[in-house]
Amino acid sequence: MVLHIDGIQFAKMFASAAAAIEASRQPINELNVFPVPDGDTGTNMSLTMAAAVSGLEKPEAHIGTVAGLAAEGLLRGARGNSGVILSLLFRGIAKSVRDLSTLTGTGLAAALAEGVEAAYRAIMKPAEGTILTVSKKAAKRAQAAAAADTSFEFVLQEALEAAETALEETVRQNPVLAKAGVIDAGGKGFCIILDGMLCALRGKPFTVMTLEGVRRERADFSEYSDEDILFGYCTEFIILRDSDRDARKLNAFLGSIGDSLVLVDDEKYIKVHVHTNNPGAVLEEALPYGQLSAVKIENMREQHSQKVIENAPEGKPARKAAEPTRRFGFVAVCSGDGIAGVFRDLGADNIISGGQTMNPSTDDILRAVDATPSEVVFVLPNNKNIIMAAEQCVALSPKEVVVLPTRSIPQGMSAMLVFDPTLEPEQNREEMLAAVSGVTTGSVTYAARDSEYDGQSIHQGDHMALLNDRLLFTHSDAAFVYDRLAEEITKIAPLFITVFYGEGVSIGDARDMAERFQSRCAGAEVTLVNGGQPVYSYLVSAE
């Protein structure tokens, strides 16, 4: 048994937990019906953990220091109800261990108890049968275990077993989960995190969640209607404190106009998560406390509609024509949580998962168009192989469908940036196409097999750089390919460069890639974004 761990071991365990959550993200999403049936708990927990991992690349041996960095990263990057609660649990843990250089089982038990207390204290109306209950039972077992054996490994193992037992009970404790016949999504995520940490401690691969088992592991989101969502907008932001105003007044106000409220008051900033029907009032009330940062507002009713589309039997969801509530709407095709998040921030109503190697059908696109609550729907294929399928929707949908022939993710984003709701559809189409024409797209991928492309021989395992769909070069040395791509993009003298790094790329490697562009284009504004896209290690937008 491992008796104790230090900060370096903790960082490795935390990274393993983050990878485990990412690998199990979609199955967790399939369970997410509480507090709102919008199917994003796995995504939110994954993005929250990823935000903290990037700050632990060079950990110290002092566990108090490392736990503090992890907690701060979690809080600043927390997404959704589950992500904020997760950040609160680790915040309490960090507070408990801040003066410790190593952590024993006894210390772990105390830290888990402190984390649970911090989470319950920050939530206005804590609900049982959730991640709160699961973490509470884990902490209670950890304290009993530490009294019998003070080794870190033993206490963590006991905490995990208690969490898994408690998780099975959530379907009977929470009426919403009982209706759906599923266990709690956040509680499952917490179990996966503990398992990921324990597996790393033992030098074993983490467990990936599947949708197989005797219990119903996938919720039927079509059983819920938009009316089941009492407060429609998930509103999150950070307040960078510049006043000594009492945050309890803000907490009381938010509780009066919404639910699922979590407010964390820190010396430097206040983290807010609330479901409300008036996000504007929330932001206005928050402004006197300081500058707002990382503002995110998501329409959960539309998220629910999208989940119905995704989860239909045999991949063919029932057609759901949303009543128009506004003039314009957007459907975008993309892959990667980070990229999807950018499109949502730009105003996309529905996201269709797709792109290179996984092209959606006309039927997939049509159903997303039908679920968009607008009179006019702009469709962004973002891949040359999807444009034709998208264009078939024009004649098949009762809505006015405008397909922009975007051939890449950067083109789609640039098109949305210039959209003007005061213009007519055809005028907007012209303006957006003009913006698309000014975008240069670079990408880096790898060869899965020997082949020929654009007259060039490609060998399995080679790294490939493309510019606007044209193969520039291929080489076994990744750094060589990255440098050549940066040189080619530099030739157009761009003012703005955005680097989206894909799944499996470390933040350190991504920063090195961004520096390649910054060093060559000193006058350009270079932005680095965790796109999370498969297939492509990097997507680069240059304008």
Same domain assignment for residues 87 and 196: yes
Same domain assignment for residues 204 and 242: no
Q: Is 238 exposed, middle or buried (0-12, 13-18, 19+ CB in 10 A)?
A: buried
Same domain assignment for residues 279 and 374: no
Same domain assignment for residues 473 and 337: no
CATH code of residue 210: 1.25.40.340
Residue where one domain finishes, among candidates 219, 250, 280: 219
pLDDT at 36: 56
- Say how far apart CA 543 and CA 525 lie, in whole Å: 10
Vertex 397: Cα angle to 392 and 398 (nearest 5):
150
Same domain assignment for residues 469 and 407: no
Same domain assignment for residues 296 and 339: no
Residue where one domain finishes, among candidates 159, 194, 219: 219
Same domain assignment for residues 202 and 240: no
Which bin fits 347, alpha (ψ -120 to 50), beta or left (φ > 0)?
Answer: left
pLDDT at 227: 46
pLDDT at 164: 92
pLDDT at 209: 62
Same domain assignment for residues 109 and 124: yes
pLDDT per residue as tens, the chain (543 positions): 889 999 999 999 999 999 998 888 888 887 876 665 556 788 888 888 988 887 888 888 999 999 999 988 888 888 877 888 888 899 889 999 999 999 999 999 999 999 999 888 877 777 888 889 999 999 999 999 999 999 999 999 999 999 999 998 888 887 777 777 888 888 999 999 999 999 999 998 877 765 444 344 444 444 444 445 678 788 989 999 887 888 888 988 998 888 878 888 877 888 888 888 888 899 999 999 999 988 888 887 666 556 555 555 444 444 556 788 899 999 999 988 889 999 999 999 999 887 665 678 787 888 889 889 999 999 999 988 888 888 888 888 889 999 999 999 999 999 999 999 999 999 999 999 999 999 999 999 887 666 665 567 777 778 888 898 788 888 888 889 899 999 999 898 899 999 999 888 898 999 999 999 999 988 889 999 999 888 889 999 999
Tell me the backbone φ, ψ of residue 531, rounded to 5 degrees.
-75, -35
Asked whether residue 272 is assigned to any structural domain, the reply reads: yes
Q: In a 3-state reduction of DSSP, which class is residue 334?
A: strand
- Say how far apart CA 224 and CA 215 lie, in whole Å: 20
C-alpha torsion angle, residues 361, 365, 371, 377 (rounded to 10): -170
The dihedral sign for the CA sequence 440, 508, 502, 505: positive
The tokens describing 150, both together, are 């003070």
Residue where one domain finishes, among candidates 383, 414, 435: 435
The dihedral sign for the CA sequence 485, 53, 98, 87: positive
pLDDT at 234: 85
Range of the domain at 262: 226-301
pLDDT at 39: 61
CATH code of residue 243: 3.30.70
Vertex 118: Cα angle to 116 and 121 (nearest 5):
105
Same domain assignment for residues 491 and 474: yes
